[in-house]
Amino acid sequence: VTNGEHVDKGEVIADGPSTENGEVALGKNLLVGFMTWEGYNYEDAIILNERLIMDDVLTSIHIEKYEAEARDTKLGPEEITRDIPNVGEDALKDLDEEGIIRIGAEVNSSDILVGKVTPKGETELTAEERLLRAIFGEKAREVRDTSLRVPHGETGIVVDVKIFSRDNGDELPPGVNKLVRCYIATKRKISVGDKMAGRHGNKGVISRILPEEDMPFLEDGQPLQVMLNPLGVPSRMNVGQVLEVHLGLAAKTKGWYIATPVFDGANEKDIIQLLKENGYAESGKLWLRDGRTGEYFDNPVTVGYMYMLKLHHLVDDKIHARSTGPYSLVTQQPLGGKAQFGGQRFGEMEVWALEAYGAAYTLQEILTVKSDDIVGRVKTYEAIVKGENIPEPGIPESFKVLIKEMQSLCLDVKVLTEDNREIEIKETSEMEDIPAIEDMVDVEIEGNQIEDEDTDEEVVIVEDEDDYREPEDEDGAFKEEEPDDEV
């Protein structure tokens, strides 16, 4: 309503994005035909007209909320700031002077939303940082980057930022000094893989989006908007969707809005009568032409208007891929699920499938270096990076866990060779078999010798990391650099 408008009791004074005249309106009335098309609506799949995407008929806006908290830690308070260590100016271009993203900024995966630093103790310093500290004597900035970033695979536009702080009298959880909330909006057009449904449990996944000119069309040239599989009706016995389509066709011709309550609505006779009045056949079927050839199809098709809506199961939220990532502490196998950035489960039956196919090497790498062979997976990754041959797989951690499990039941389980000699299975941690980074060394920069208590060796600092070699003896002869196993 507007200022000065006269309103009566029971009149709608405000409508939201999902209501119309006070009634819930989550979907759209679409022109639907029950027909198969080149096998693309097999198993309840749905075919859409491309025009629906172009006209944003089934487009939705999604707003995600992200939060960053500045807490008190044992080593001091966290700070929300623009001054983040080891981050280039390019990554900070959309942050304001406080280190918070500006409204209207377009953000992609791993972009900084809120710059935040956390104090860290001497023990947390890496060897490189200790080296730089020895050179430049920088004692003040003992912080690490804990900024809030856009999660993997997400994108959008910042539509709102809210800042709460204890100084302003806002109520915050214990230990939290400042809270920043960012809202990111994304416009999602409907796409292949999204899920749609009608009013009668007739749900399906979009399998194909056809150009408007290829869709079957009515006698007057109007193309269908949706094609559904007729086989989705008889076995499920949800005949309401067919009656809805017939009633929708007649109502559209009359220009009516029809309300049919569940047990006291329009029956079959009423619908047939209404179809006849509007010049349609009793069956409610129409002859359609093929959009590609212009020729009539062999049989008439049930066509009409159906209320359809887009469901929350969107393909953009489900799609997921991983190369390396987090592993379970017990089994050392990759975690599961998109939320944990996990791997794809290769279960018992999948193993049988590859066994039956005889794909021995594929199966071996899936069950070892791609899963829980700790040393093997690190060495394999290193070999790929260096362009070398992939090494032989080792023993998977799950086998070691099984042996330990059996030993915990007081079973004396050993692994033997063919000549009955025991094989000792070593306990391996993630970083075993991988040389640690060398300790701090003396460095000479521009003639200034910087002393270090631990060692009296010298290294030469060069511009390009790839050119780095270590002096072998006093006269300055160089030995070839040994490959560093860490990846």
CATH code, domain carrying 158:
2.40.50.150
Query: What own/partner pairs with CB < 8 Å and gap ≥ 24 does 441-445 have?
Result: 443/131, 443/134, 443/135, 445/135
Query: According to the model, what pLDDT value does residue 289 have?
Result: 97
Residue 15: inside a domain: no
Worst-scoring range by mean pLDDT, 31-40, 196-205, 306-315, 465-474? 465-474
Among residues 447, 435, 443, which one has the least CA distance to residue 482? Answer: 435
Q: Are 458 and 471 in contact (CB under 8 A)?
A: yes
pLDDT greater than 60 at residue 122: yes
Regarding whether 378 and 345 lie in a shared domain, the answer is: yes
Regarding whether 104 and 47 lie in a shared domain, the answer is: no
pLDDT greater than 50 at residue 148: yes
Worst-scoring range by mean pLDDT, 67-81, 93-107, 446-460? 446-460
Q: How many domains does the chain have?
A: 4
Among residues 153, 163, 150, 177, which one has the least CA distance to residue 94? Answer: 150
Q: What is the mean pLDDT of the chain?
A: 86
As a whole number of angstroms, the distance between CA 336 and CA 430 comes to 19
Domain boundary among 396, 418, 434: 434
Q: Are 138 and 170 in contact (CB under 8 A)?
A: no
* The two three-digit tokens of residue 84, written as one number: 């983040």
pLDDT greater than 80 at residue 141: no
Regarding whether 241 and 383 lie in a shared domain, the answer is: no
Regarding whether 155 and 36 lie in a shared domain, the answer is: no
Distances (CA, A) of 471 to 100, 134, 194, 482: 47, 21, 61, 12
What 3-state class would DSSP assign to 275? helix
Regarding whether 180 and 69 lie in a shared domain, the answer is: yes
What 3-state class would DSSP assign to 251? helix
Residue 11: inside a domain: no
Domain boundary among 310, 338, 373: 310
Regarding whether 389 and 330 lie in a shared domain, the answer is: yes
Domain boundary among 134, 158, 188: 188
Regarding whether 211 and 301 lie in a shared domain, the answer is: yes
pLDDT greater than 50 at residue 4: yes
The domain of 450 spans 435-487
List pLDDT tens digits, range 327-352.
Answer: 999 899 999 999 999 999 999 999 99
Regarding whether 152 and 44 lie in a shared domain, the answer is: no
Provide the CA 147 distance to its chain's centre, in angstroms.
20
Residue 346: inside a domain: yes
Residues in the chain: 487
List pLDDT tens digits, range 306-320.
Answer: 999 999 999 988 999
Distances (CA, A) of 76 to 73, 125, 144, 145, 175: 5, 16, 12, 15, 11
Query: According to the model, what pLDDT value does residue 471 have?
Result: 43
- Match 């953009």 to its residue by tokens: 316
**What is the average pLDDT across 279-302?**
95
As a whole number of angstroms, the distance between CA 106 and CA 282 comes to 55
Q: Give the angle subtended at the CA of 130 by the CAs of 129 and 134, to the nearest 5°.
A: 115
Residue 32: inside a domain: yes
Residue 143: inside a domain: yes
Q: Which CATH number does the domain housing residue 429 bear?
A: 3.90.1800.10
Q: Are 147 and 164 in contact (CB under 8 A)?
A: no
Where does residue 81 fall: left (phi above 0), alpha (psi -120 to 50 degrees), or beta otherwise? beta
Among residues 232, 251, 197, which one has the least CA distance to residue 26? Answer: 197
**What is the average pLDDT across 185-206?**
96
**What is the average pLDDT across 411-431?**
80
Regarding whether 68 and 106 lie in a shared domain, the answer is: yes
Q: Are 305 and 198 in contact (CB under 8 A)?
A: no
As a whole number of angstroms, the distance between CA 134 and CA 452 comes to 8
Residue 401: inside a domain: yes
Q: Which CATH number does the domain housing residue 47 bear?
A: 2.40.270.10
Residue 8: inside a domain: no
List pLDDT tens digits, range 386-409.
Answer: 999 999 999 999 999 999 999 999
Q: What is the dihedral of CA 141, 146, 147, 153, to 10 degrees?
A: 140
As a whole number of angstroms, the distance between CA 226 and CA 465 comes to 59
Beta strands in 16-55 (DSSP E): 19-20, 23-24, 28-34, 46-49
Regarding whether 183 and 65 lie in a shared domain, the answer is: yes
Residue 18: inside a domain: no
Regarding whether 385 and 336 lie in a shared domain, the answer is: yes
What backbone torsions phi and psi does residue 119 show, to the nearest 5 degrees? -65, 145
Regarding whether 302 and 210 lie in a shared domain, the answer is: yes
Burial group, residue 107, by CB count within 10 angstroms (0-12, 13-18, 19+)? buried
